[in-house]
Amino acid sequence: MPIIQFRRLSSSACFQGLLKRARVLALLCLVGLLLPLASHLLAASDSTLAWLIDLACHWQWLYVCGLLVFGALAAWADRGWACLLLALPLPWLTAAPSAPTLAQGVVVLSVVSANVHLENDDAQSLRRWLGVTRPDVVILLEVSPAYAAGLQGLSDYPHQQLLTQEGPFSMALLSRHPLFGVEVLRDADGIPGLAASLDVAGQRVRILAEHPMPPLSRYDHVQRNQKLAARAAEAAASALPSVLAGDLNATPWSSAFAGLAGQGLRRASGITPTWPAIGRAFPGIPIDHVLVSSHWAVVSTARGPDLGSDHYPVLVRLALPASRP
């Protein structure tokens, strides 16, 4: 057999093998994009299957990238495979409902949520960013004692509530407005959250900070979901406009968000990845959130800069409409 002909056959066989792998990977990515539907169907289940499906459904941007690459390669050889690319909008369609938008309102409140990382002792990046963005309320997670010391002297935030303890569940609540009715909310495992009220332009507002345990086990998965459902129920029962923010260790496609909108707690933050802060979190997952009760509308939402953590912060500007929904 001539050498040129052998090379052509070898190249063709290699390409066919590559094409088969691309088709398989494109189908797997399609399944990944459909996982949020399965996760929500199993939201009431505490089974291992529900936990594993929920773990897999978080990585929607990875599945989008994979389907775009492998689906395009498969479609290049056979145009019929191009129909798979119709699934690319699914992450926007299957994400938990977001709050309505509004250009301005009678009361405006800006909120920052940032996991600053337990091993990060330098608060200077945060201080500089807050000096530029000037949010009303700042919720910080994984605040080390050294980082807490770096928060002292923030004259723009004279009202501070720090909850310091060993491990990653320390947190801080900083506010331009006086805080009152501050509570420490602990779950059955002793993991804390913070709740407080503040007055903004004559309107009382309730703020909650949470940092559930990552769903490293089926038990943690169930506890996280139950905690968020309980907070949503509390917000629905309250007459006060409520804001829940923090590192929720769940994405908008997770079963943790199933039913929250029905109880009146919707996403104010976006679906841009916030973790891990490597390569600008691409293609990471959005687990840092600001959720709001039905009183609120969203003026703007943005991901913040690198603050020396493994998370990016989120900044949301909220408004109370003149006519409440």
What is the domain partition of the chain in residue ranges?
3-92, 107-320
For residues 106 and 293, give the distance between their C-alpha atoms in angstroms, rounded to a whole number: 16
Residues sharing a CB contact under 8 Å with residue 274, sequence separation 6 or more, in sequence order: 281, 284, 285, 286, 287, 288, 303, 311, 312, 313, 314
Rounded to an integer, what distance in angstroms lies between the CA atom of residue 233 and that of residue 291? 13
Tokens, residue 296: 């609120």
C-alpha 22/C-alpha 30 separation (Å) is 12
CATH number of 107-320: 3.60.10.10
* pLDDT value of residue 237: 84
Instruction: Determine the pLDDT at residue 324.
Output: 52
Positive or negative, the Cα torsion across 295, 300, 301, 305? negative
In this prediction the pTM is 0.92
- The whole-number pLDDT of residue 325 equals 46
Give the pair of three-digit tokens for residue 246: 């923090």
Q: Where are the alpha helices (H) located in the chain, listed in sequence order?
A: 3-41, 48-57, 60-77, 90-94, 124-133, 145-150, 218-237
Stretches in the chain below the pLDDT threshold 50: 1, 3, 6-7, 9-10, 325
| Residue 246 pLDDT | 97
**What is the SS3 assignment for 147?**
helix
Tell me what pLDDT residue 255 has: 97
Whole-angstrom Cα distance, residue 151 to residue 248? 23
CA distance 182 to 206: 10
**244-273 residue pLDDT tens:** 999 999 999 999 999 898 888 999 999 999
Distance (Å, rounded) from C-alpha 65 to C-alpha 51? 24
Four-point Cα dihedral 280, 285, 291, 296, nearest 10: 60
